[in-house]
């Protein structure tokens, strides 16, 4: 019995002495795994940084984030590719009332689009709201959004804000309601697109008449964007008689863009409350089928007050 106890004691001592070496062996075997995991983590981190930089190039363009100013001009890159994918038109209105450029002895830094008080205004791209403010002698109620594609957009003369500063928004999310606040004598949306704080003609990228963007991308070039702006006004600007942003018009007859090559001028009707396809067709001297075809509508489509319909 005593011999068995001695044998058990010796075996226990040997086992206890071997535990540290076993632990070291385990750590030694684990070390390469940890090393590999670090390598994997490093590659993953690099991919995440690359993806974030690719999806949000604005990180490389702007050194600061401020809720105090609408825009602050900094150095422009020589060239910069602006993604126009995953966009939303800020308004469904197709009626432009004032071009980008010289107007009344000063530079008009955006496009004016005819909207009515209470019309929904939406974010053009996904991004983050930088400024939500009121400016009595300028924009009135306005919103500034910095987008992942590098642009900042400004929405002016709103009757109401629907977002807050530092809020993340998706393309198409309502950000405000159309209005007539600030330096304005008629309800309209003043819409700006800026790169590094420098105003670019929205018509370089947006075609409000056709409710579309011009391409998947706009390649900004520092040495040619001003000349391109002049051409964009001719192709996608007001066209025909010039209307200012403070003119109240129920409808404006727009000459079609030269690139569209239409045989006749396009005419638009803004839907009033209670109107139907039948009543609009009768008022405009056309047919329901013609309106449906021009606007890609079904006969059972529900019309919204403020909706713009092409009727020829």
**What are the distances in angstroms from CA 151 to CA 59, 159, 214, 296?**
11, 24, 16, 31
Query: Do the domain assignments include residue 71?
Result: no
Please indicate, yes or no, whether residues 88 and 220 belong to a single structural domain of this protein: yes
pLDDT digits (tens, 9 = 90+) for 42-88: 666 555 544 444 456 667 789 899 999 999 999 999 999 999 999 99
What average pLDDT score do residues 136-143 get? 95
Query: Do the domain assignments include residue 243?
Result: no
Please indicate, yes or no, whether residues 121 and 201 belong to a single structural domain of this protein: yes
pLDDT digits (tens, 9 = 90+) for 150-162: 999 999 999 999 9
Say which residue, 221 or 60, is predicted with more confidence. Answer: 221
Please indicate, yes or no, whether residues 43 and 84 belong to a single structural domain of this protein: no
Query: Do the domain assignments include residue 253?
Result: no
Say which residue, 16 or 294, is predicted with more confidence. Answer: 294
Give the structural domain span for 176. Answer: 79-236
**How many percent of the chain have pLDDT more than 90?**
53
CB 140 within 8 A of CB 146: no
Please indicate, yes or no, whether residues 154 and 231 belong to a single structural domain of this protein: yes
Position 220 pLDDT exceeds 70: yes
CB 156 within 8 A of CB 182: yes
Query: Do the domain assignments include residue 23?
Result: yes
Is 120 exposed, middle or buried, given 0-12, 13-18 or 19+ CB atoms closer than 10 A?
middle
Please indicate, yes or no, whether residues 37 and 117 belong to a single structural domain of this protein: no
Alpha carbon distance 283, 292 (integer Å) = 15
Is 262 exposed, middle or buried, given 0-12, 13-18 or 19+ CB atoms closer than 10 A?
exposed
- Residue by residue, DSSP assigns 164-203 as -TT-EE-TT-EEEE----SS-SS--EEEEEEETTEEE-GG
Is 267 exposed, middle or buried, given 0-12, 13-18 or 19+ CB atoms closer than 10 A?
middle
Query: Do the domain assignments include residue 165?
Result: yes
In total, how many domains does the chain have?
3
Please indicate, yes or no, whether residues 49 and 190 belong to a single structural domain of this protein: no
> Mean pLDDT for the chain?
80
Query: Do the domain assignments include residue 6?
Result: yes
Please indicate, yes or no, whether residues 36 and 102 belong to a single structural domain of this protein: no
Please indicate, yes or no, whether residues 278 and 180 belong to a single structural domain of this protein: no
Please indicate, yes or no, whether residues 14 and 157 belong to a single structural domain of this protein: no
Please indicate, yes or no, whether residues 35 and 95 belong to a single structural domain of this protein: no
Q: Which pLDDT does position 52 carry in this prediction?
A: 47
Say which residue, 291 or 37, is predicted with more confidence. Answer: 291
Say which residue, 27 or 93, is predicted with more confidence. Answer: 93
Q: If pLDDT is split at 50, 70 and 90, which confidence band does 276 have?
A: confident
Query: Do the domain assignments include residue 65?
Result: no
Query: Do the domain assignments include residue 33?
Result: yes
Q: Which pLDDT does position 177 carry in this prediction?
A: 97
CATH of the domain at 304: 3.10.350.10
What average pLDDT score do residues 282-301 get? 82
């Amino acid at each position: 019995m005593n011999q068995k106890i001695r044998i058990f004691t010796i075996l226990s001592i040997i086992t206890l002495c071997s535990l540290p070496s076993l632990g070291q062996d385990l750590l030694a075997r684990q070390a390469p795994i940890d090393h590999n995991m670090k390598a994997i983590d490093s590659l993953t981190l690099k991919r995440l940084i690359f993806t974030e930089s690719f999806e949000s190039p604005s990180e490389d363009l702007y050194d600061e984030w401020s809720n105090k100013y609408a825009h602050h001009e900094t150095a422009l890159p020589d060239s910069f590719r602006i993604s126009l994918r995953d966009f939303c038109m800020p308004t469904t209105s197709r009626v432009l009332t004032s071009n980008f450029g010289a107007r009344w002895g000063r530079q008009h830094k955006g496009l004016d689009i005819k909207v009515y008080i209470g019309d929904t205004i939406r974010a053009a791209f996904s991004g983050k709201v930088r400024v939500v403010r009121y400016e009595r002698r300028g924009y009135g109620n306005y919103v500034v959004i910095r987008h992942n594609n590098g642009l900042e957009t400004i929405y002016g003369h709103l009757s109401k804000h629907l977002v807050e500063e530092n809020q993340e928004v998706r393309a198409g999310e309502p950000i405000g309601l159309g209005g007539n606040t600030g330096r304005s004598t008629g309800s309209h949306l003043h819409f700006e697109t800026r790169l590094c704080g420098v105003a670019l003609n929205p018509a370089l990228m947006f075609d409000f008449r056709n409710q579309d963007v011009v391409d998947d991308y706009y390649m900004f070039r520092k040495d040619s964007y001003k000349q391109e702006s002049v051409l964009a006004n001719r192709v996608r600007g007001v066209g025909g008689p010039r209307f200012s942003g403070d003119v109240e018009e129920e409808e404006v007859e727009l000459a079609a863009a030269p690139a569209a090559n239409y045989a006749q001028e396009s005419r638009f009707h803004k839907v009033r409350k209670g109107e139907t396809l039948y009543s609009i067709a009768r008022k405009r001297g056309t047919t329901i089928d013609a309106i449906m075809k021009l606007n890609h509508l079904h006969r059972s489509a529900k019309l919204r007050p403020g909706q713009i319909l092409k009727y020829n």
